[in-house]
Structure 1
Amino acid sequence: MSQERVQTDKNIRLCEQIATEYTSEHTYAKDDVYDCDNMAQDVWNMLKAKGINSRIAVGNFESAEGGRIANGTGAQKSSDAGHLGEIEVPSRTYKSMNVSNSKAIDSFNHAWVLAEVSPGSWLAIECTGGYVVYSDENEKYYQGLTFSNPKNYRSFLSLYRDWKIKALDYETEKSYYDELVKPYNNASYSEQVAMRSGIEIAQRILYEKEKAFLKTDSELNALLKYG
C-alpha cells in the first residue's frame, strides 16, 4: 500500500473519529440557536487543529427528514466502502450573482463540512449526525457553495442579506424613476422645465442606490468566487 493511500485512510479515520466524538458532546436541535451552521464551524476548527484542510459547505436538503441526515446511519469504516468526491468550488458554480441563483441560495437549508483527505479528494462530514458521507451515497453533499473558513462563511451570510436589501431598494427606486420619466419624455418643453427638478432629484437618488448596490454586489461576488 502506498504512503499516500496510508495517509488518506488515516485522514478518513480521523474524520470519522472527530464526527463521532463531536456529536456525542453536542445536540442538534433544528431551528435552535445551536444549529448546523454552528456545528459545521466547530468541526471545521477541529479538523484544522489536526492539520486537515476543510471547507464549510451549504446546500439544499429538501428531503432531509427521510434520509441519512435524519436517521443517523453509522459511518462507513474505510475508503473501500465508498467513493471520495470532488466539489464544485464557487468560481465554477456561481460566476456572478443574479436573480436565478439568488433564488437557489434562498433554498439552502443545511450546512456541513467537506474534508480534503487527499489532494483534490474530499469527504463529507454530517456534523449534526456524527458520520461521514461518500459521494456515491449522497451527491448533494458535494454540491452547493463552499467556504474556506468560518469567517468567510459568516461574511457571506451578512453580505448576502445586505445584497438582497440593496437589490430590492435599487429595483424599487428604478421603477419609481422609470414611471417619472415616461410622462416627462412625452411632455412639452415648458412642461419638462417644470418637471425637471423632480426628475433630477430622483435621478440622483437612483444613482446613490445603484452605487450602494454595486459595491455590495462586487464584494459578494468576490467572496463567492474565492470562497
Structure 2
Amino acid sequence: MTMMMHENKVLIMNIKNIVIILFIISISCIGCVEYNESKTIQSTPPESYEAPTSTPTARPTLTETQTKIITIEEILDDYRQNHVYMSDNIFDCDNMAQDVWNIFKAKGINSKLVLGNVDHFGPLTLDDCNHVWLLVEVLPNEWLAVETTGGFVVYKEDNDKYYEGYYFSNPKNYREFVDLYEDYTYQYADYKNEWEYYNQLVKIYNNANYYEQIQLKGALDVTKNNLEIKERRFSETLIKIETILEYG
C-alpha cells in the first residue's frame, strides 16, 4: 500500500513536470514566432515607385527682342534713379536723351534721337516740336520708342506719335542742328526787320520829289544790299539744317 502511494506521488510529480516543460516550450515557441514575424515585417523592402516618364517643363526661352527690351528697361531705370536734370521744374529732355544715347552706344545698342511732339496731330513742323526722346533698334530695322525723360518704353499701338518726328543719328548731329536752328531763327528775324525797313524806304522814295529821291537813293541802295546779304545768310543756314534733317 505504501509502495503504491509512493509510486502515485512520483507519477503525479512527473506529470506536473511534463506539463510545466510543455508550457515553457509553448511560450518559447510563441515568442520565436512573434519575433520571426516581426523580423520578417521589418526586413520587407519598401514599396517601389516607378520613375516619371515625362520630363519637367523647361523655362520658356526669351527671344532676342524680349532680352533687349529687358536690358533697355534696366538701363532706363538705373538712369532715372541717378540722373535728373531740371530747370524751373522742367525736365531737360534733350540732354537726358543724349545721355541715354551714349549709354546705349557703350553697350552696343543702336539708337537715334527724335525731335517731335507726342501730343500733336496733323503735319509736323519744326515750330511744333517741343520734346526729344529715342528710338532704339531692337532688331534690324525694327525700332522701339524710349521715353528717356519719363524712363519707360512706348509701343506704337500705345502712342504712334513717338514714331514720328525729325531723326538724328547721334548727339553731335542733334547739337549741330540746335545751334544752326538758333542761328537761323535769329538770322531770319534780322532779315524780316531789314525787309520791313527797306519797304518803308521804298514807299518814302516813291512818294518823294525829285530832290528828295536823290537824297534817299544812297540809303535805299545800302538797305537793299544789306537785305540781300541777310537773305543769303539765313538761306545758307537753312540749307545746312535741311541737310542734317535729311541725313540725320
Which residue of the other structure, out of 172, 177, 193, is the alignment partner of 1:156? 177
Structure 2 counterparts to residues 39-118 of structure 1, below 5 A? 39-61=96-118, 101-105=125-129, 108=130, 110-118=131-139
Secondary structure at 1:51 match in 2? coil
- Normalised by the length of structure 1, the TM-score is 0.71
User: For residue 68 of structure 1, what is the aligned residue in structure 2?
Assistant: none
Residue 239 of structure 2 corresponds to which residue in structure 1? 218
The residue identity in structure 1 corresponding to 2:108 is G
On the 8 A contact 2:134/2:145 being kept in 1, the answer is: yes
- Indicate the percent of aligned positions where both proteins have the same amino acid: 45
Aligned counterparts of 1:31 and 1:142: Cα–Cα separation in 2: 28
Partner of 1:175: 196
- Cα offset, 1:161, TM superposition: 1.2
Q: Is 1:134 aligned with 2:191?
A: no
Distance 1:128 1:194, change over 3 A: closer
CA positional deviation for 1:191: 4.3
Cα deviation code 1:93-151 (max 9, x no counterpart): 88xxxxxx34323xx1x221110111221111122332211111122211222211111
- Larger Rg belongs to: 2
Could you tell me how far 1:217 is from its partner in structure 2? 1.4
Aligned residues between the structures: 185
The residue number in structure 1 matching 2:82 is 25
Compared with structure 1, are the counterparts of its residues 169 and 155 closer, same or farther at alpha carbon in structure 2 (3 Å cutoff)? same
Tell me if the contact between 1:21 and 1:130 (Cα under 8 Å) persists in the aligned partners. no
In structure 2, give the amino acid aligned to 1:117: V
Report how far residue 193 of structure 1 moved.
2.9
* 1:177-212 residue CA offsets vs partner (Å, 9 max, x unmatched): 112113434555554333211111111211221122
Aligned residue among 197, 202, 205 for 2:218: 197
| Candidates 78, 88, 93, aligned match of 1:36 | 93
**Offset at 1:174?**
0.7
- Structure 1 CA distance for aligned equivalents of residues 109 and 216 of structure 2: 64
Output the aligned Cα RMSD: 2.6
Q: TM-score, normalised by structure 2?
A: 0.66
SS class of match (2:145): strand
8 Å CA contact 2:144–2:155 kept in 1: the answer is: yes
For residues 45-94 of structure 1, the C-alpha deviation after alignment (integer angstroms, 9 at most, x for no partner) is 1111122211111222459xxxxxxxxxxxxxxxxxxxxxxxxxxxxx88
**Aligned 8 A contact 1:47 1:54 in 2:** yes
Match of 1:77 in 2: none
Q: Could you say which residue in structure 1 is the equivalent of 2:72?
A: 15
CA gap 1:134/1:62 in 2 versus in 1, 3 angstroms: closer
- Structure 1: gaps (5+ residues): 64-92, 95-100
SS in 1 for 2:63: helix
- Of residues 144, 157, 165 in structure 2, which corresponds to 1:144? 165
> Helix, strand or coil for the counterpart of 1:56?
strand
